[in-house]
Structure 1
Amino acid sequence: MKNYSNYSDKETLLEFFIDNGCMRQANDDYYGAVFCFTKALEVSSNSAEAYLRRGIVRGILKDFTGAINDFSKAIVLKPEYSDAYFNRGLLWHRSEITTNALEDFLKVTEIDPGYSGVYIFIGDIFWKLKEYANAVKYYSFALEYEPTNMSAYYKRAHAKRVLMDYDGALEDFNRFIMLNPNVGQISLTKAIRKLFKKEINEARFNFSSLN
């Protein structure tokens, strides 16, 4: 790290530590990154960005309590900070604290409806809660912003199947196949046939679209 004793301007020094923290993070020096972001907060304890960035690195280091605290402080300083809500939501989600995760993710959509990455996580939570119609709704939102999101098609297909929207489920599986050239179509088609075995035997729909 460069000698920072020559930086007399507080804003410049803050930027210096944040930039160095980002550089260390990019080089997988996570403890060094935490050090730099902490120094940035010593320069300015009101830096929501420094709290956010330190929280992200603490999350990587599995210091979940420290990360949650940092994201929460960033939100106090900047109440409309969608990145802080999103990253805190991710930690709640990984910790299986579903209610908190859903609350934070929905807040992201309230602040910034175009925050495309959040919708699939909301869909996942509703899937886990067995609220399949809501899962379909949010996977659909994800696809509005990311029309080639293979995971969203695949997950929405499963939710549609549970809701007995078999035509919609098959359509989504087909789109998943078309978007995923690394998956053998024959083997995946067989897997889908197996998944729908009960419905096929009961002749609930025509399976010709996957032939």
Structure 2
Amino acid sequence: MIRTLLVLIAIGVGFSCDSDENKKGRFLLKGNEKMEENDPKSAMGFYGEALEMDSTYADAYYNKALAHLQLNQLTESIQDLSLAIQYNPDYYDAIFQRGLNYLDNGEFYKAREDALKLTLLEDQNWKSYFLTGLVAERLKQFPEALTAFETAFKLDPENSDLLVNQATILYYQKDFENATKLLNQAMDINPLEPNLHNLRSMIYFDEQNYEEALNSVEKAISLDKSHAYFYNNKGLYLLFLGHQQKGLDLINQSIKMDSKNPFALRNKGIYYVMQGDKASALQYLVELNQNYPDMDLVKEYLAKAQAL
């Protein structure tokens, strides 16, 4: 749920003579300039020029992978990162980014292998344990995830995201009191972290404090208007506050932004239960109960739909 991170561009080094090494470095730098201009397609052209000069140029593969990522080309990004690692087996940033990509691609066990490589390479780098925690979270190994995020925070105690990650695990475990304590600690470090306010809203919702849930998620949206989950959560809270059409509009907006979010489909099912539309509610909730049997509210609202 929480993975806001800036990837780093590899920087080429110039040389005084106009050697092949200097030329490929210039192509790398030109590609980086295009990335700064938010033009990843042109950037890939320059990285390709560098690779034509040196097919083992790990930095060019790495930067090209980031350009693919910006274009949502996850498979191609993973392929280029693997080539960067092939030619530079200890390329920490490439292994880290590939692990994140594997997670986004649903390849959790490959991500776990990369997390292990990172801890072997740099056991005092917070990112090694951050990736370890993310993998354990996806595998629902919550105690292991919590330990990893705690270790990461000890290594980078000014990183509020790592506290939010810990609070997220405690939220999954329904330990709202300690999750809230961690969020308060994160607030002291960075009160402008949107995921902090979104998670706080989720805790308020589970405590049936819907007004405060709405206030918190609106704060999250004011800080990050690009996050589909925030709009989906706001839509859910509005449903429970009696503003059902407004809630549905936001849930639909969230689906347009991210069509793969099962929580948004659940919320549409809840909306139709509230409308008394049994057929439409079952259309969503029956399949969700089959695919996500542990998702909160699904069984409850499936039973309500069946009773209509």
Give the TM-score, by structure 1 length.
0.75
Q: Check the 8 A contact 1:133/1:163 in 2, yes or no.
A: no
Mapped to 1, the partners of 2:165 and 2:120 lie a distance apart of: 23
Report what 1:86 is aligned to: 96
Paired AA for residue 47 in structure 2: F
Deviation (angstroms), 1:118: 4.3
Q: How does 1:36-51 map to 2 (within 5 A)?
A: 36-51=46-61
Q: Summarize the Cα distance change of 1:189–1:48 in structure 2 as closer, same or farther, 3 Å threshold.
A: closer
CA 1:159–1:15 in structure 2 vs 1: closer, same or farther (change >3 Å)?
same
Structure 1 residues 195, 26: CA separation in 2 closer, same or farther (over 3 Å shift)?
Answer: same
Which is bigger in relative contact order (C-alpha 8 A, separation at least 6)? 1
Describe how 1:6-85 pairs up with structure 2 within 5 A.
8-85=18-95
Moved more, 119-128 or 52-61: 119-128
Tell me the distance in 2 between the aligned counterparts of 1:26 and 1:67. 18
Aligned-residue identity in percent: 26
Change in 2 beyond 3 A, CA 1:196/1:142: farther
Q: Distance in 2 between matches of 1:66 and 1:190?
A: 36
**Residues 70-98 of structure 1, C-alpha deviations (whole Å, 9 max, x = no match):** 11111111111111111111211111211
Aligned-partner SS, 1:147: coil
Letter in 2 for 1:46: T
1:134 deviates by 0.6
Query: Measured at CA, do residues 41 and 171 of structure 1 come closer, stay the same or move farther in structure 2, by a change above 3 Å?
Result: same
Match of 1:95 among 96, 105, 108: 105
RMSD: 2.7
User: 46-55 vs 170-179, which deviates more?
Assistant: 170-179
Partner Cα separation in structure 2 for residue 189 and residue 13 of structure 1: 51
Query: What 5-or-longer segments of structure 1 have no aligned partner?
Result: 1-6, 198-211
CA, structure 1 residues 100+41, in 2 after alignment: closer, same or farther (shift >3 Å)? same
Q: Is the 1:125–1:135 Cα contact (8 Å) retained in structure 2?
A: yes
1:110 aligns with one of 120, 137, 155: 120
Report whether the alignment pairs 1:135 with 2:145: yes
Correspondence list, 1:181-200, <5 A: 181-182=191-192, 192=203, 195=206
Report the equivalent of 2:131.
Answer: 121
Instruction: Verify the 8 A CA contact 1:18 1:40 in the aligned structure 2.
Output: yes
Displacement of 1:8 in angstroms is 4.9
The alignment of Structure 1 onto Structure 2 pairs a total of residues equal to: 187
Contact 1:68/1:91, CA 8 A, preserved across alignment: yes
Alpha-carbon deviation of 1:145? 2.3
